[in-house]
Amino acid sequence: MEISVAEAVFEIRDLTKVYRTGDVEVKALRGVDAELFHGELTVMLGPSGSGKSTFLNILGGLDVASSGAVRYRDQDLTNAGDRQLTRFRRNHVGFVFQFYNLIPSLTARENVALVTEIAPNAMKPDEALEMVGLKERISHFPAQLSGGEQQRVAIARAVAKKPEVMLCDEPTGALDSKTGILVLEALTATNQELGTTTAIITHNVTIGSIADRVFHFSDGAINAVIENERRLKPSDVDW
Ligand code: ADP
């Protein structure tokens, strides 16, 4: 029998991050080892301040570690300069944050087109919006959309350039459960249809059941990694 082993696209070794503000030092990460696997969906859980965002930002090249190693495929991100990190983010990573950061004077289609016009091999804006279930809202402005719909425009904008990696920091943090489910469905659809390696930070422990793998953060470390035998659909999650 052939056993398929997913490839580790991110390899993280003994990662630390210390923030210094004046005389105050905060150890945000205290020696994290982890792997993220090709095409998998990883959910990152843990209390506020446990280091999840710091970790995600370092994976995405938005921040740099204090020590340790981060490798994305054949790229060493630890020793990368600003230009290499910018190229890495631009070519490989889509970000989704808690707040949608859409441009109010542009329609959904135009918000997505801002990215697709400059990215090589991008999807058409309409295709990306259809993938997140917003076919009927393409010509709407952000103010005419609900919070969940705005977040799905932000997801369409992030996936339209067909990134290999999607990093999502509390994408449902500002949403009620019903709209949160639609947002998670948009993320699982892009994960499955495009094979995008996806990581989602959330406070909501039950969301862990939609993942292939769950990282439990505590006090700057990952103290447990749980592999789910099967993934639940977001609509089957008990919020
Ligand atoms: P989480 O995402 O789990 O809430 P964070 O990664 O945001 O945790 O934060 C981890 C720790 O690092 C916290 O104590 C936080 O206050 C601190 N921290 C995060 N970003 C900064 C920063 N830019 N400057 C100083 N301290 C920071």
CA–centroid distance, residue 28 to ligand 1 (Å) = 6
Q: How much of the chain exceeds pLDDT 70, in percent?
A: 98
What DSSP designation does 182 have?
H
Residue 164 to residues 29, 35, 108, 167, 227, Cα–Cα distance (Å): 25, 15, 23, 10, 21
In a domain, 100, yes or no: yes
Q: Does the beta carbon of 28 sit less than 6 angstroms from any atom of ligand 1? A: yes
Judge whether 47 lies within some domain: yes
Tell me the whole-structure pTM to 2 decimals. Answer: 0.94
> In this structure, is residue 20 part of a structural domain?
no
Decide: 48 in ligand 1 pocket, CB within 6 A.
yes
CA of 18 relative to ligand 1 center, distance in Å:
9
What is the per-residue pLDDT across 174-223, written as a single tens digit (0 to 9) for each?
A: 888 888 999 999 999 999 999 999 999 998 999 999 999 999 999 999 99
CA of 49 to the centre of ligand 1 (A): 5
The domain that holds 168 is classified in CATH as: 3.40.50.300
| Domain span at 180 | 39-64+82-236
| Residue 23, domain member (yes or no) | no
Instruction: Please check whether residue 96 lies inside any domain of the structure.
Output: yes
In a domain, 26, yes or no: no
Encode pLDDT of 44-96 as tens digits: 999 999 999 999 999 999 999 999 999 999 999 999 999 999 999 999 999 99
pLDDT at 119: 85
Nearest atom in ligand 1 to 54's CA: 6
Number of domains the chain contains: 1
Smallest CA-to-CA distance from 239 within 169, 181, 189, 187 is with: 181
Q: Quick check: is 153 in a domain?
A: yes
Ligand 1 center–CA 36 separation, angstroms = 22
Top mutation candidate among 54, 98, 201, 216 for ligand 1, by most atoms within 8 Å of CB: 54
